[in-house]
Amino acid sequence: MDTTPLELSEDERRYYEKDGFFAREAVFGSEDLERLRAAAERVAANAKRAALAKSRAVERAEAPEDDDYRIDGNRYVEAAEATVQYEHDAGSETIRVIEPFHHLDPVFERLVEDPRLVVPLCGVLDADRIALWTDKINLKRPREGSGFRWHQDSPYWSHVCSHCDQLPNVMITLDDADRENGCFRVIRGSHAKGFLPGLQDGTALGPLFTDPAAFDEKEQWLAELPAGSIVVFDAHTVHGSQPNASDRARRAIVLTYQPADEPMFKLEGVKNFAKSGASA
């Protein structure tokens, strides 16, 4: 385990409050990364099999049609208690995102309660206990991984959550990230005004993407970080990424926490974690 102090530092608190994010480099070591990458590929393979089975069930009218659907031309399949999102190219069989995913592998079941994540996130929320809200994995395959347009997470959750101001995210880089393989990007200070206006472009998803007139793109920070690093960012912080133009993977995990005792977003139940390291 990394020997860096787990507690949120005063500098990190200031960065989070002023800029809407902070980063820690190389929090997870090589052995951790080997386990996490292997688990990511197991989850992707199992999700692909489950999605294929669900699609065939839909074709046979043994499952609801809305378990395999498209929004603005993009394909989603509800399988394995997760939403499996495919790359946007027509007919693509490459998975882009799986949400949630932690319940699909014991390695990730343990990751969500890892003190290297829980302790600093408790600091962000000024609490001794926190709960999991949701989690997703972005696979960003070489030459196939598409970008993510500028957006905030809070509008996506606002219809089911009354505490969007208390949903800090933590992204974990599973691979070295740089601009060539479409690294994560954030807009400094964009969280300060809360919900920002979305695009009114006539599409279903447009309102979930932030209107570029509402922020200054010159304030972007690129998370060019080594594998095993983390970025903690506010649910209102505008963020996105470019496509993966490299021959290298740019896999990343995003976990979202919330105040203790609140139920999860897409899974049933409550998952509380204590700052002391024991589940609560």
Whether 70 is covered by a domain: the verdict is: no
Residue 2: the pLDDT is 45
Instruction: In whole angstroms, give the CA distance from residue 95 to residue 88.
Output: 10
Residue indicated by tokens 């090589």: 30
218 assigned to some structural domain: yes
Residue of 42, 260, 123 lying closest to 271 (CA atoms): 260
Decide if 68 is inside a domain.
no
CATH number at residue 162: 2.60.120.620
User: CB–CB of 168/8 below 8 Å?
Assistant: no
d(Cα 136, Cα 231) in Å, to the nearest integer? 15
End-to-end CA distance of the chain: 22
Coil, strand or helix: which one is 182?
coil
Cα 274 to Cα 260: distance, rounded to the nearest angstrom: 9
From first to last of its 280 residues, the chain has per-residue pLDDT tens of: 444 689 999 999 999 999 999 999 999 999 999 999 999 999 999 999 999 999 999 999 999 999 999 999 999 999 999 999 999 988 899 999 999 999 999 999 999 999 999 999 999 999 999 999 999 999 999 999 999 999 999 999 999 999 999 999 999 999 999 999 999 999 999 999 999 999 999 999 999 999 999 999 999 999 999 999 999 999 999 999 999 999 999 999 999 999 999 999 999 999 999 998 644 5
Q: Is residue 18 part of a domain?
A: yes
Q: Alpha helix locations (H) across 137-189? A: 154-157
User: How many structural domains compose the chain?
Assistant: 1
Residue 45 within a domain: no
Cα-based torsion angle of the residue sequence 178, 183, 187, 193 in order, rounded to the nearest 10 degrees: -160
Q: Which residues pair with 14 in a beta bridge?
A: none
Assign 59 to helix, strand or coil. Answer: helix
Closest CA to 105 of 32, 29, 40, 37: 40
Does residue 146 sit within a domain? yes
Give residue 150's domain range. 10-29+104-274
> Are β-strands 82-86 and 272-274 bridged in parallel, bridged antiparallel, or unpaired?
unpaired
The answer as to whether 148 is a domain residue is yes
∠ CA 176-22-106, nearest 5°, is 60
| Cβ partners under 8 Å of residue 199, min gap 6 | 206, 207, 209, 210, 211
C-beta of residue 130 within 8 angstroms of C-beta of residue 118 = yes
Please compute, for residue 90, the number of CA atoms within 13 A of its CA located in the half-sphere on the CB side: 0
For residue 84, list its beta bridge partners.
Answer: 77, 98
Q: Tell me, what's the pLDDT at 190? A: 98
Q: Please give the pLDDT value at position 277.
A: 66
In a domain, 99, yes or no: no
Q: What is the Cα 87 distance to its own chain's centre?
A: 16
Rounded to an integer, what distance in angstroms lies between the CA atom of residue 98 and that of residue 137? 5
Q: What is the tally of helices (H) and strands (E) in the chain?
A: 5, 14
